[in-house]
Amino acid sequence: MRELELYVHIPFCMKKCDYCDFLSAPADEKSQLAYVEGLKREIAYYGSCYKDAVLTSIYIGGGTPSWLQERYLVAVLEEINKYFIIQPKAEISIECNPGTLTKNKLETYKQSGINRLSIGLQSTDDQELKELGRIHTFEQFLRNYELARECGFSNINIDLMNALPHQTIEKAYDSLIKVIRLNPEHISSYSLIIEKGTPFYDRYKFDLVKQEAGLPTEVLPSEDTVYQIGKMTQDVLAENGYLRYEISNYAKKGYECRHNIGYWQRKEYLGVGLGAASLVDEVRYSNLTDLDAYIEQSFHVKQTTIADTQTKKEIPATNLCREAVALTKNAQMEEFMFLGLRMTEGIQKNQFYQAFGFTVDHIYRDVVQKLSAQELLVDTTTSVYLTDKGIDLSNYALAQFLL
């Protein structure tokens, strides 16, 4: 039976954070209802296309899915259950922001089959939260976290962000320790990335240039401080039983995010909703990003064709699709390596051979030898994985696998 993962995009939030460049924005209830109805039609369409497939995981992301009224979310989940076979022990996650959760919402999530929460805390320091443009305080997060435990959730991820304006190692350590004391099953620790087109970029673009050049900064932490925060995070989490299984993700044994591991292992997944991405039959699809256009097209979801972004050849798609790329064998091998090597266990050589009919050594011998000599990579008889130094320089190391 064919296995698929399902990603559901909820593009709404109460207020867009100052650093955010995701496809999300506030919306009135009329727009939310219209979108949910469109989402249900897309789900029904794909359900008819993949009747024999089984969903191994479902991830509801955004935006802020927990801002959506619970009855709308229930309607989406009911549609998925109606049209898809869901593996009995499937991981079903929802992203939540503190300040948007209530006891009723959490109880509804639990009753609807959601078994994993990913809560976007980012910092335990209220001043840092304010600077980020977050809508909540640490106290609100604590109340929401306690509610989640009371409602029976036993698989919770907490997102933390570092390299924040004015952040010191001491401040980052304080946030980390406060989160560890709560004993979540999973912690994601990301460095702030300042993207063009965001208020953060307008505010800190000159400091960003200095940071990237290794020059003294005024507001953003220096490149050296960012590095030290990263090493401190890794060490403190390891000391407290959190295993680093991916560059930015740590978990207690058995609580690694199965959905995200599917992405890194290039498992097939469907993405439904505004701007959602899919990987099916070695084609990467992206949905429309205009809300009105998505809703209008969803009234008659149908099979059509779209010009491949690279080759311009027509390939099968739906009318909700904005762009598509049929991956060449080289592109598939590249992805296998630079996605798989994000995980600390790296890639298995026998899986590469089974997928492509070539050995890793045949395709990447020179790259592997070069990175091994630079102490960025470990090459064993069965696997290839990044060293700690390789993870620190992962952007450079992974780029070497582009053919």
Q: What is the pLDDT of residues 350-374, one digit of tens each?
A: 999 999 999 999 999 999 999 999 9
The CATH number of the domain where 50 resides is what?
3.20.20.70
The CATH number of the domain where 359 resides is what?
1.10.10.10
Mean pLDDT of 378-382: 97
Report how far residue 16's alpha carbon sits from residue 233's, in angstroms, rounded to the nearest whole number: 27
Q: Is the dihedral of CA 393, 398, 401, 402 positive or negative?
A: negative
pTM, to two decimals = 0.95
What is the DSSP code (8-state) at residue 12? B
49, 189: one domain: yes
Cα atoms in the 13 Å half-sphere on the side-chain side of 127: 5
Residue 147 has pLDDT above 70, yes or no: yes
Q: Quick one: what percent of the chain has pLDDT higher than 70?
A: 99
Q: Of the residues 233, 264, 295, which one is the last residue of a structural domain?
A: 264
**Three-state DSSP class for 307?**
strand
Mean pLDDT of 124-139: 92
Total domains in the chain come to 2
58, 186: one domain: yes
Q: Of the residues 222, 242, 264, which one is the last residue of a structural domain?
A: 264
31, 157: one domain: yes
Instruction: Give the range of the structural domain holding residue 147, as residue numbers without chain letter.
Output: 3-264
Position 204 confidence tier, pLDDT thresholds 50, 70, 90: confident
Burial class (CB in 10 A: 0-12, 13-18, 19+), 37: middle
Residue 133 has pLDDT above 90, yes or no: no
259, 357: one domain: no
97, 196: one domain: yes
237, 364: one domain: no
> In which residue are the tokens 């909703």 written?
273
The pLDDT assigned to 21 comes to 66
Report how far residue 1's alpha carbon sits from residue 298's, in angstroms, rounded to the nearest whole number: 28
Q: How far is CA 189 from CA 113, 246, 276, 376, in A?
A: 27, 10, 24, 21
Mean pLDDT of 232-246: 97
The pLDDT assigned to 211 comes to 77
Report how far residue 27's alpha carbon sits from residue 6's, in angstroms, rounded to the nearest whole number: 24
Instruction: Tell me, yes or no, whether 280 lies in a domain.
Output: no
**Three-state DSSP class for 323?**
strand
220, 354: one domain: no
Mean pLDDT of 130-147: 93
